[in-house]
């Protein structure tokens, strides 16, 4: 089969990747994926860590200051962390409601976090910055870490929706199929593609069960034959990924049943936020909570390994401080919700959460009170093999990175800068990717640092 014919067949059969139930046989005895799970939260546009976990302070109205909205004396020490005194309030009638503050967040959740400051992305370009933050590489097409962990998982067990994404950097490098899921309705359509109204258990079908079974059998036989004839390594790997995605697994149907009785979380469901009258101030927060809710339900059903979620709005070339406050603190409040959700669903001991962005913002303001692109940034990590209450890396008072000792990670003038590649080498180690075929296929340069040990 030539490449054009393969792509034609894969394009048609790809409908089955996005809709495996109802057009193939379910396998009631198939194993479910039980973890670990990974949630990647992307702050799209380049966030300003000096407004949150790497505070500096400055002088009001002084554009050469690292921060104009607070002074150095207002920084809150929460050993081992330092918290910017940043607070986000939303309108509630004639008053306001505190959504969250950075000190509140770190006080409540610092014990489950590793914060890495002073990360050098080596770029001020959005595309490259997003790529290197989430893959550890600046190479075009490099697979996101979320794709690698999903690809490693499907080598052992078919996972129908292994890598879920609502956006951000989600290149797969061909190691796993990608499923874009933005809302509950989309997941329902994946779970019940043969149903006219997937939200109605009594809905009619497009095809009778007998016809659906015959279609499934024909598709399965055709893919098996195509796999057997394919000799080109890249296309054979792609065909194998397609085959894995098409394997029978009643887990997706179970997820669909679960979602039919699930109400998407809203601001009204959060008691301290329900009084907010200007809902536009918390739209991104509600969106993040809903994205996380769908992902966690997929984790619970054993049909997903990793997910990309996130919001934009961080490219603050004007009015940096209010813009960063609004977006960053909605992410922090979403994290508060996610940690609570993981705890209540019994997933906390199996789930990793990562927060990152394209890069950082300059340590000074432009004429529009904005900040431009800066290659230094911070990331937040949580999970079973990630120590809590830990701060790694630092920057000086001018928001320039301090080099660290390769062994102790303490500031060392003869040391090295922490780069995104170091972060991902450490992540690959705790995820069990190091030394595997996937690791060898997408190598990362540099030394492994004990970032999570």
Q: Average pLDDT for residues 10-28, to the nearest whole number?
A: 35
Q: Tell me: the pLDDT tens digits for 331-368? A: 999 999 999 999 999 999 999 999 999 999 999 999 99
Output the six-digit token pair for 160: 């129908």
Strands (E), 16-75: 37-43
Confidence label for 248 from pLDDT (cuts 50, 70 and 90): very low
Strands (E), 303-383: 306-311, 351-357, 360-361, 373-374, 376-382
For residue 56, give every residue at least 6 positions away whose Cβ sits within 8 Å of its Cβ, in sequence order, or none.
Answer: 50, 66, 67, 72, 75, 363, 395, 397, 398, 399
Percent of the chain with pLDDT over 90: 71
The residue with tokens 């089955």 is 16
Task: List the chain domain ranges.
Answer: 31-183+264-441
Q: What are phi and psi of 394, to 5 degrees?
A: -160, 170
Q: Average pLDDT for residues 421-429, to the nearest whole number?
A: 98
Q: Tell me: the pLDDT tens digits for 180-199? A: 876 556 666 666 666 776 66
- The superfamily in CATH containing domain 31-183+264-441 is Alkaline Phosphatase, subunit A (3.40.720.10)
For residue 155, give every residue at least 6 positions away whose Cβ sits within 8 Å of its Cβ, in sequence order, or none.
Answer: none
3-state class (DSSP) for residue 103:
helix
How far, in whole angstroms, is CA 239 from its chain's centroid?
Answer: 26
DSSP one-letter string for 404-441: B-TTT-SB-TTSB-EEHHHHHHHHHHHHT-TTSHHHHH
**How much is the pLDDT for 104?**
98
Among residues 335, 313, 310, 333, which one has the least CA distance to residue 323? 313
Output the six-digit token pair for 158: 């078919």
38/382 Cα distance (integer angstroms): 10
155/247 Cα distance (integer angstroms): 13
For the chain, the average pLDDT equals 87
Q: Is the pLDDT of residue 143 over 80?
A: yes
Q: Average pLDDT for residues 136-161, to the nearest whole number?
A: 95
Q: Is the pLDDT of residue 29 over 60?
A: no
Q: Average pLDDT for residues 147-173, to the nearest whole number?
A: 94
Contact 400, 363 (CB under 8 A): yes
Q: Average pLDDT for residues 37-53, to the nearest whole number?
A: 98
What is the number of helices (H) and of strands (E) in the chain?
12, 15
Among residues 327, 332, 330, 368, which one has the least CA distance to residue 353? 332
Q: Average pLDDT for residues 313-340, to the nearest whole number?
A: 98
Q: Average pLDDT for residues 131-142, to the nearest whole number?
A: 97
More confident residue, 309 or 227: 309
Confidence label for 288 from pLDDT (cuts 50, 70 and 90): very high
3-state class (DSSP) for residue 111:
helix
Taking only Cα atoms into account, the Rg of the chain, rounded to an integer number of angstroms, comes to 23
Among residues 402, 448, 400, 398, which one has the least CA distance to residue 428? 448
Q: What are phi and psi of 385, to 5 degrees?
A: -105, 15
Provide the 10 A C-beta neighbour count for residue 213: 15
Helix (H) or strand (E) holding 243: helix 233-245
296/7 Cα distance (integer angstroms): 33
Q: Which of 207-211, 238-242, 279-283, 364-368 has the lowest mean pLDDT?
A: 238-242
Q: Tell me: the pLDDT tens digits for 227-243? A: 667 666 666 555 555 55
331/70 Cα distance (integer angstroms): 21
**How much is the pLDDT for 110?**
98
Structure pTM?
0.85
The residue with tokens 């799970």 is 37
Strands (E), 2-146: 37-43, 76-78, 81-83, 87-92, 95-101, 114-120
Q: Is the pLDDT of residue 140 over 50?
A: yes
**How much is the pLDDT for 218?**
80
Q: Is the pLDDT of residue 17 over 70?
A: no
Q: Is the pLDDT of residue 282 over 60?
A: yes
371/377 Cα distance (integer angstroms): 13
Confidence label for 205 from pLDDT (cuts 50, 70 and 90): confident
Q: Is the pLDDT of residue 376 over 90?
A: yes
181/307 Cα distance (integer angstroms): 10
Q: Average pLDDT for residues 173-185, to the nearest whole number?
A: 81
For strand 351-357 and strand 37-43, is the pairing parallel, antiparallel, or unpaired? parallel
């Amino acid at each position: 089969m030539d490449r054009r014919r393969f792509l034609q067949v894969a394009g048609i059969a790809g409908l089955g990747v996005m809709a495996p139930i109802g057009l193939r046989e379910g396998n009631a005895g198939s194993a479910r994926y039980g973890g670990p799970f990974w949630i990647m939260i992307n702050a799209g546009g380049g966030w300003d860590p000096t407004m949150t976990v790497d505070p500096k302070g400055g002088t009001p109205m002084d554009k050469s200051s690292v921060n104009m909205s607070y002074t150095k004396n207002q920084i809150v020490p929460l050993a081992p962390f330092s918290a910017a005194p940043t607070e986000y309030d939303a309108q509630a009638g004639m008053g306001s409601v505190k959504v969250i503050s950075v000190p509140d967040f770190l006080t409540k959740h610092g014990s489950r976090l590793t914060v890495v400051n002073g990360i050098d992305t080596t770029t001020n370009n959005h595309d490259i910055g997003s790529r290197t933050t989430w893959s550890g590489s600046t190479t075009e097409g490099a697979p996101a870490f979320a794709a690698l962990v999903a690809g490693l998982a499907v080598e052992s067990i078919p996972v129908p929706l292994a890598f879920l994404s609502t956006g951000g950097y989600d290149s797969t490098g061909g190691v796993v199929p990608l499923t874009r899921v933005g809302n509950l309705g989309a997941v329902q359509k994946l779970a019940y593609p043969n149903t006219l109204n997937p939200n109605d258990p009594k809905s009619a079908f497009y095809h009778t069960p007998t016809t659906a079974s015959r279609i499934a059998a024909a598709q399965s036989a055709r893919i098996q034959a195509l796999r057997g004839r394919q000799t080109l390594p890249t296309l054979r790997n792609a065909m194998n990924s397609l085959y894995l995605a098409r394997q029978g697994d009643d887990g997706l149907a179970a997820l669909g049943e679960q979602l039919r009785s699930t109400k998407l979380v809203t601001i009204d469901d959060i008691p301290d936020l329900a009084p907010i009258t200007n809902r536009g101030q918390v739209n991104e927060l509600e969106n993040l909570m809903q994205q996380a809710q769908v992902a966690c339900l997929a984790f619970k059903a054993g049909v997903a390994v990793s997910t990309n979620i996130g919001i934009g709005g961080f490219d603050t070339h004007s009015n940096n401080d209010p813009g960063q406050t609004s977006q960053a603190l909605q992410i922090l409040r979403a994290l508060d919700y996610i940690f609570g959700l993981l705890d209540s669903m019994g997933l906390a001991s199996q789930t990793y959460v990562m927060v990152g962005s394209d890069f950082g913002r300059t340590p000074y303001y432009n004429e529009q009170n904005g900040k431009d692109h800066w290659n230094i940034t911070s990331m937040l990590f949580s999970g079973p093999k990630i120590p809590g209450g830990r701060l790694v890396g630092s920057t000086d008072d001018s928001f320039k990175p301090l080099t660290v000792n390769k062994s102790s990670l303490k500031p060392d003038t003869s040391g090295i800068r922490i780069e995104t590649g170091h972060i991902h080498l450490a992540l690959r180690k705790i995820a069990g990717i190091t030394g595997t075929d996937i690791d060898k296929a997408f190598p990362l340069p540099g030394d492994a640092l004990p970032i999570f040990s």
